[in-house]
Structure 1
Amino acid sequence: MPTATIDDDQRRARLGARHLLATRGPSVEAVADALVGVHATDPATVYLSTCARLDHPATADVDAALYDRRTLVRLLCMRRTMFAVTATTAPVVHAAAGKPIAAKERRNLLTHLADGVGWDADRLAEVEDATLEALRRRGEATAVELTRDVPALLEQVVVAPGKPYETRQNVSSRILRVLAAEGRTRRGRPLGTWLSSQFRWAPGTPWPDIDPAEARAELIRRRLAAYGPDTEADLKWWTGWTLTAVRRALADVGAVPVGLSTGTGHVLPDDLDPVDRPEPWAALLPALDSTPMGWQARDWYLPTRHRPRLFDTAGNVGPTVWWNGTVVGGWAQRPDGEPVWHLLDDVGADATAAIAREAQRMADWIGGTRVTPRFRTPLEKELST
C-alpha cells in the first residue's frame, strides 16, 4: 500500500523541470535523454520537440546529432513507435523494447513475402545479404539506388488485397524497415529538408546483446526518473510490454508505490521528496511530442474537455500550448509560416504574454518553414487556414 502521496501540482512541477520545459537543456542529447527518447514517427517532431527545449534552438544542431556526430539515432521501439534516442541509450532501448518488435517484424515479413512472391527465409537472406553488400559498396544509398544493384528488391506484393485501397508495393521498403529494426542498417540524411520522411540508408552495426530483464529494468529506471510517478497502466501502454514484465521491472528497480489523485503510481526509492515548483513557464510543443504522449492517464495535465480538439481519432496529439504543466490550448502555422494559437482556458494576461513570447521564439528559429503535422487534429486544421 502507498505510504506517501504525490498530488497533481507536484506532478506538474516534476514535468516542467524534468522535461526541460521550465529550464531548458544545453544540448540535443540532453533533451533526448531527459525524455528517454523523442517521438520520431513524424520527422518534424524530432526538430520541433528538441528545439522547444534548447536554450539556443537550431535545426543544424539536430542535424549534427543525427548525421554528423551520430549521437542521436532513430529506433523502432516502445509501443512499435519510432523514437530518436541517444546512442548511449540505444542498446538498452533496443534490448528492452526494440528487439522483440524486430523479431515480430521479421516474422510478419516472411509471411508477407511467402504469400506475395513465394520467398522463403533462405531467399530473403540472400536478398538481404546482397542489399547489405550493395550498401557497403555505396556507403550510403536511397532505396531506389539499391534496387538498381539488387533487382530482387523491385519484386512486388499486393497490399490490402480486396480493399478499396488495394495497392502494389515493392518488397524493398519492408526489407529495409526490418534491417533497420535489427540495427543492420540505419537511416541517413533525408532526401529533402528536415521535414522529409524519405531517407538515405547507411550500413549499421547491430546493437550489443544485453540481458532482456536487465534492459527492461534499466529502461524503467530511466522512465521513472523522467516521468514518475507512473501507474502500471501507463508503463504497460508506453512500453508495449505485458503487465507481468512491467511488474517485474518495477520490482527490479525497487520502485515505491505512491498515492495519486486517481489510483497508485510508482517512483524510484530515492524520489519521494517534493521537488521545488519551477518559475512560471510556457511552451508550444509539436504534434506527437513525448510529453503530452507520455502517459495513458492524462487528466492531471490535459483536461478531458480539450481532447476532442487536440487529438485525432487514432489518439495522436496535435500541437499543444502549455502553461505551468497544463495544456491550455493548441497552435498551428498559417500558410505563410506564422505561428498562431488558441487558448482553451482563460490563463490571464501574464500567461498570455509568456505564450506570445514563446511563439515568437519559435518563429525566430523556424525561419518561416511551414510544418504540417503528419496527423492532423481539429484545432490544428482550424487554425492553419
Structure 2
Amino acid sequence: MTKARRKITAEERRARLGARHLLSPAARARTPEAVAEAVLGLHATDPASVYLSVAARLKDPSVADLERALYEDHTLVRMLCMRRTMFVVPRELAPVVDASTARAVAARERRNLAKVIQEQLGFDERWFAATEAAVLAALERRGEATAAQLADDVPDLKSQIVQSEGKPYEARPRITSRFLGVMAAESRIRRGRPLGTWASSQYRWIPAEPHPDLPLDEAKAELAARYLAAFGPATAEDVKWWTGWTLTDTRKALARTEAVEVDLDAGPGHALPAHLEPPAEPEPWAALLPALDPTPMGWRHRDWYLDAAHVAELFDTNGNIGPSVWWNGRVVGGWAQRGDGSIVTEVLAGAGVGRDARAAIAAEADRLAAFFGSVRIKPSFRTPLERRLAQ
C-alpha cells in the first residue's frame, strides 16, 4: 500500500514564515550574514533593496554593518546568477551558486557581447582577452576604479555599439558597462563601494578571485537543498522558477536531496524531513519589505500568501513586486517613501486587517523611516500602488 503523503496547508506555511525569514520581532538577526543565510540570497538588482531587506530583518539595522560585510570582510558576495538576476549571497554559498547557475549565465553574457563586438566593431576573441587583461592591470594599479576611470585607462572600452538601429529608440551606448558586467559575471572583478549614498546605483570596481570549481550535479543538488531549507515546502515549479533551471535539471537536483514528497494547495511539493512536524504557534508580526525582496520573490506559486486580486497593484508589467506590507505571513498592502522622507502605507481592500495589525504596520513604518534618515529612494521597478502612494 502506498503511504499517504503529508498534507501541508497554506496556514502552516504562513506560520513558519515569520521565524524562517527572520521577519517576526523575536526572530530578527544580529548580522547581515545571518539574514542572507536565512533567505539564501538578497535580490540586488535595485541597490537599495539589499539594505532594506536586511534592515527589515535585523534587531538593530545598520548601514555600516552591511557595508562591512560587502566591502571589507567580503562575507557577502554580489553575483549575477539565478534567472540572470543580481543577488547578494553568503560567501560560503557563492561557489555553489557559481557552479549551479552563475557560470552558465556568464557564458551566455560573454557569447552575446562577443558576437555584437565582432559584428559591429570587428574585435575578435584575442581582443576580448587582451582588454580583460588591461582592465585587471588597471585595477591592480588603482586598487579600485569607476567605470569611467577604467575607460580612460583602457580606451577601447569607450567604443560604441548600435542598439535597435533605425527605431525611434535607437541608442549608441559605449561597451563599458556590458564589458565590465561580463567580467563581473565571470568573477574576475566585483562591485565595490557605491558613489554617494547606499542607495546609489553608481559604484566602484575592485579585483576579485574566481570561485573554486565544484561538480555541476553536486552544486545543483546543494542549491536545491538550500532552497528547500529556506523556502520549502515548495513545488518543483517553484524551484525551477527560482533557479532558472530546466524542469529536467530541477527534478534531477531534487532527487539528490533528502526531500520527501508532500501535498500542497498548489499540487505535489517537496519538503525536507525537518519541516514535516507541525509549526509552533507564531507570534503576530508585521513587515514592510522593499521591491524585489527575497520573500515575496521566493516562489512561482504565490496564492498561499498573496491575493490574486492584489497583483495588479503590487507588481509591474514584468512581474517584479514593488514595496509590500505583510501581516502574519500574507501580503496585505504596499508602501512608498515620499519626498519629505515619510513612509506611507496602504492596506488593500479585502485584506482583513484589524486594529492591532494597523498599529504594528504603523510601528514598522516609523522604524523604516528612521533607517532611511536623510536618504531618499525611488524603486527601479515602479508599481501602480507605489507610484500612487509616493505622490
- Scaled to the shorter chain, the TM-score interval is over 0.9
- Deviations 1:230-280, CA, capped at 9 Å, x for gaps: 111111111000111100110101321110112111012332112213200
The runs of 5 or more residues in structure 1 that have no matched partner are none
Equivalence for 2:132: 128
Residue 196 of structure 1, CA deviation:
1.1
- Deviations 1:106-153, CA, capped at 9 Å, x for gaps: 111111111221111111111111111111111101111111211111
Residue 155 of structure 1, CA deviation:
1.1
Equivalence for 1:346: 352
Counting only pairs closer than 5 Å after superposition, residues 362-377 of structure 1 correspond to structure 2 as: 362-377=368-383
Q: Is the 8 A contact 1:10 1:277 kept in 2?
A: no
Query: Quick one: distance in 2 between partners of 1:262 and 1:98?
Result: 29
For the pair 1:381 / 2:383, whether they are aligned, the reply is: no
For the pair 1:159 / 2:166, whether they are aligned, the reply is: no
For the pair 1:49 / 2:53, whether they are aligned, the reply is: yes
Residue 373 of structure 1, CA deviation:
0.5
Query: Quick one: distance in 1 between partners of 2:293 and 2:332?
Result: 15
For the pair 1:169 / 2:170, whether they are aligned, the reply is: no
**SS at structure 2 position matched to 1:234:** helix
Query: Quick one: distance in 1 between partners of 2:372 and 2:150?
Result: 34
Query: Quick one: distance in 1 between partners of 2:218 and 2:194?
Result: 34
Pick which of 58-67 and 70-79 moved more.
58-67
For the pair 1:358 / 2:358, whether they are aligned, the reply is: no
**SS at structure 2 position matched to 1:123:** helix
Q: Is the 8 A contact 2:233 2:275 kept in 1?
A: no
Counting only pairs closer than 5 Å after superposition, residues 328-343 of structure 1 correspond to structure 2 as: 328-343=332-347
1:235 pairs, out of 235, 239, 263, with: 239
2:311 pairs, out of 307, 330, 333, with: 307
For the pair 1:285 / 2:289, whether they are aligned, the reply is: yes
Query: Quick one: distance in 2 between partners of 1:158 and 1:343?
Result: 45
Residue 162 of structure 1, CA deviation:
2.2
Q: Is the 8 A contact 1:25 1:54 kept in 2?
A: yes
Q: Which amino acid aligns with 2:227?
A: R
Instruction: Please report the TM-score for the alignment, with normalisation by the length of structure 2.
Output: 0.97
Q: Is the 8 A contact 1:28 1:62 kept in 2?
A: yes
Residue 160 of structure 1, CA deviation:
2.0
Query: Quick one: distance in 2 between partners of 1:169 and 1:368?
Result: 33
1:15 pairs, out of 14, 17, 25, with: 17
Instruction: Please report the TM-score for the alignment, with normalisation by the length of structure 1.
Output: 0.98
**SS at structure 1 position matched to 2:212:** coil
- Deviations 1:39-82, CA, capped at 9 Å, x for gaps: 00000000000000000012121111111111111100001000
Query: Quick one: distance in 2 between partners of 1:163 and 1:47?
Result: 38
How large is the RMSD of aligned CA atoms in angstroms?
Answer: 1.1
Q: Which amino acid aligns with 2:161?
A: V
Residue 369 of structure 1, CA deviation:
2.0
Counting only pairs closer than 5 Å after superposition, residues 136-151 of structure 1 correspond to structure 2 as: 136-151=140-155
Q: Which amino acid aligns with 1:379?
A: L
Equivalence for 1:75: 79
Equivalence for 1:214: 218
**SS at structure 2 position matched to 1:183:** coil
For the pair 1:117 / 2:121, whether they are aligned, the reply is: yes
The runs of 5 or more residues in structure 2 that have no matched partner are none
Residue 376 of structure 1, CA deviation:
0.6
Q: Is the 8 A contact 2:197 2:375 kept in 1?
A: no
Q: Which amino acid aligns with 2:211?
A: W
Identity, % of aligned pairs? 58
Equivalence for 2:199: 195
Query: Quick one: distance in 2 between partners of 1:262 and 1:123?
Result: 51
Q: Is the 8 A contact 1:336 1:368 kept in 2?
A: no
- Deviations 1:7-65, CA, capped at 9 Å, x for gaps: 00111112211110022112100001111000000000000000000000121211111
1:184 pairs, out of 179, 183, 188, with: 188
Q: Is the 8 A contact 2:199 2:375 kept in 1?
A: no
2:90 pairs, out of 69, 82, 86, with: 86
Query: Quick one: distance in 2 between partners of 1:271 and 1:348?
Result: 30
